[in-house]
Amino acid sequence: MLSDKVILITGAAGGIGRATALAAASEGAHVAVADVNFEDVQETASLVMQAGRGTALPLQADISLSTEVDRMVLAVITHFGRLDGAFNNAAIAQWQCGAASKKLGEISEDAFATIMRVNVTGTWLCMRAELDYMSRHGGGAIVNTSSISGLVGRSGSGAYSASKHAINGLTKTAAVEYAECNVRVNAICPGFIDTVFVKSSLATRGDALLASVPMHRLGQPDEVAEMAVWLLSDRARYVTGSLFGVDGGFMAG
């Protein structure tokens, strides 16, 4: 599906990002994998190469900093000669800011600002650099990682939920603004996926969490990766501005 395409994946040190790098490469893509954690993103690149699934360029980048985002995108273009698609997957959760399960009125200003800086500003900075290049070079495809928390309100996830609602707005707006440039922009809204990202929720309310999922299990990172790869491919060439749930039926329940 991605034969000879150049795909940039952020948040690729593990979980959904790593799974998408492996899936994209297996479909013929050249992948650039980026994360603030360079040691683990190097491991992702090594796994791609060891699987004989094409080339992989590891990059270190803090997406909340415009200079690092611009440098990251330039590195991809310089190394591969172009950029055909991007999976903006990097994000942080409330538990990573010391605000696990806290209600909106209990979240510190610093924690709220950190979540917004990484999840919203960071995603926008990535989109800005990608859109600038793609709109001037014949088009491309962008997929953002949102969440079921970007579709509903969830107690104890107010700041995170706000950030993901914002990503949905960025996705839809960019899709409308850049359709004439042949750039497609969509978002995936994962449910409870078996990654370290959901460890806080599992620790505090694991049974209730699984009971809320009609399939009664966690999703696997590769199940989200399959959707990302399809959206990045030309098979989804008439799909833009849409939000896709990969949630085991959670939003239908």
For residue range 109-124, list pLDDT tens digits in order. Answer: 999 999 999 999 999 9
Integer distance in angstroms from the first to the last C-alpha of the chain? 32
Contact 134, 181 (CB under 8 A): yes
**Lowest-pLDDT choice from 167-176, 189-198, 217-226:** 189-198
Mean pLDDT of the 240-252 span:
96
**Are 228 and 143 contacting, i.e. CB atoms less than 8 angstroms apart?**
yes
Q: What is the mean pLDDT of residues 4-18?
A: 97
The catalytic site residues sit at 160
pLDDT for residue 203: 64
CB of 204 within 8 A of CB of 161? no
What percent of the chain shows pLDDT beyond 90?
85
Q: Write down the mean pLDDT value for the chain.
A: 94
Least trusted range by pLDDT, from 2-16, 91-105, 188-202: 188-202
- Residue 93 · residue 160 · CB < 8 Å: yes
HSE (CB half, 13 Å, CA atoms) of 248? 17
Band of pLDDT at residue 101, cut at 50, 70 and 90: confident
pLDDT digits (tens, 9 = 90+) for 28-80: 999 999 999 999 999 999 999 988 777 899 999 999 999 999 999 999 999 99
Instruction: Name the band, by pLDDT with cuts 50, 70 and 90, for residue 201.
Output: low
Distance CA 113, CA 111 (A): 5
Is pLDDT of 157 > 90? no
pLDDT of 121 reads 98
Structure tokens at 72: 């990251």
